[in-house]
Amino acid sequence: MQRHDFVRSDDGSGPRTLEEPRLPSESRTRAMTQVVIAVAVVLLALWVARDFLVALIWAGVIAITTWPIYVRFTQLISARPSSLLASVLFTFAVGLVLIIPIVLTAHQVAQGGEAFVHVLNRLRESGVVVPAWLVQLPIAGEYLDLWWRANLSNPEVLTEWFRGVKIENLTAWTGTLGGALLHRLFLFAITLIALCLMLRDGTWLADRSVVTARRLLGDPGTRLIGKIAEATRATVNGTIAAAIVKGAAVGIACVMMGVPHPLLFSVLTTALAMVPLGAWVALAAASLTLLVQDGTLLAPFGLFVFGAAVLLIGDNFIQPALIGSSAELPFLLVLIGILGGMQSFGLVGLFLGPVIMAALLTVWREWICIRE
């Protein structure tokens, strides 16, 4: 409340009101109170939405990455970027792009189901034949050959092993897997809904972000927002390009080595290349499949060595180089961002890590070095 004092004027025109000036401490207190309330509201909102933060982050990453494509898409259909129809159609297309690799993988697995059943029937009838390379191993070759013939080559022993599997455990595991799958599908639906709304309101969100950054940080804040967007696009594009290269190389190797269903392992390698150690699982599965079919050790070993070299080069050189060249980041910062981001935030950290490093480099270049 303001304090009013009435005093008589010198010219005799009557009393006039004097307003007491507001103390600077009151403005500082009010500003501090606003900051505290704003931080508390943000933290409370994050706590309420904690189960959906990953889905929202994924939606933001996809929206920032695909925004240039979305703008061209709206021009093709003669719509505005803020059009609900354009955002719905584009989100549907993005959902198809994300679902197609999963459907293709499931189709390849279904095609290989008959071969898998045939292998199980053969194992039940005649057991597992001793590989020729096992006997040639030094020192332990003879012992391993006797153990293999007594256990894996004996159909009765294999039947007893399968009988030891508890149906109750398999049922519980299947139920848990089904519940986790439904939860992932629900989060995927939330991601698509959030993506649709972000695309529809993308221009407004970008303007508000720039205005907020300028008010809080000035012109360096505006450049920081732009750098974050560039780093996000560079990270996603570099990761996808590296995954395609690794999947194609492993797929070609599987075709040359005669691995059954090479397209399946190529798609698995590409899809799992963005998951920590995922591509290595696909490579190991391809090598084991070739080992069971071929019966020799040289071809599976050569496939695994070649695939391991491809994955190591792709993870440690190609992917960081692609991201660093687009985001103008040093190679070491990109590598630390990728590995540290996955360790700290999981799969989404694969994209958050380089973005955080880009923000760090921007702060150091424009806020600290300039002051010096």
pLDDT digits (tens, 9 = 90+) for 312-344: 998 888 888 888 877 777 888 888 888 888 888
Per-residue pLDDT band for 101 (boundaries 50, 70, 90) equals confident
Residue 369, domain extent: 217-372
Q: Which residues contact 177 (CB under 8 A, 6 or more apart)?
A: none
Cα 288 to Cα 272: distance, rounded to the nearest angstrom: 18
Q: Assign 44 to helix, strand or coil.
A: helix
Please state the rounded mean pLDDT for residues 250-272.
85
66 lies in the same domain as 130: yes
* pTM (global) more than 0.85: no
Q: What pLDDT is stored for residue 91 in this prediction? A: 94
Q: Nearest Cα to 232, choosing from 112, 63, 86?
A: 63
Domain boundary among 142, 172, 200: 200
Residue 16 tokens read as 């006039």
Please state the rounded mean pLDDT for residues 29-40.
82
Cα 263 to Cα 269: distance, rounded to the nearest angstrom: 10
Q: What pLDDT is stored for residue 347 in this prediction? A: 77
65 lies in the same domain as 94: yes
List 19's β-bridge partners, or say none: 4
185 lies in the same domain as 286: no
On whether residue 14 sits in a domain, the answer given is no
Cα angle value 77/78/81 (rounded, 5°): 90
- Give per-residue pLDDT as tens, 65-86: 999 999 999 988 887 888 889 9
Cα 116 to Cα 133: distance, rounded to the nearest angstrom: 24
On whether residue 100 sits in a domain, the answer given is yes
Q: Assign 112 to helix, strand or coil.
A: coil
Per-residue pLDDT band for 179 (boundaries 50, 70, 90) equals low
Q: Which residue has the tokens 């970027």?
A: 81
- The total number of structural domains in the chain stands at 2
Q: Which residues contact 163 (CB under 8 A, 6 or more apart)?
A: none
On whether residue 37 sits in a domain, the answer given is no
Which comes out higher in pLDDT, residue 126 or 336? Answer: 336
On whether residue 315 sits in a domain, the answer given is yes
Integer angstrom CA distances of residue 87 from 57, 98, 195: 18, 16, 8
Residue 233 has pLDDT above 80, yes or no: yes
Residue 154 tokens read as 């004996």
Kindly state the percentage of the chain with pLDDT values over 70.
70
Cα 216 to Cα 31: distance, rounded to the nearest angstrom: 13
Q: What pLDDT is stored for residue 342 in this prediction? A: 81
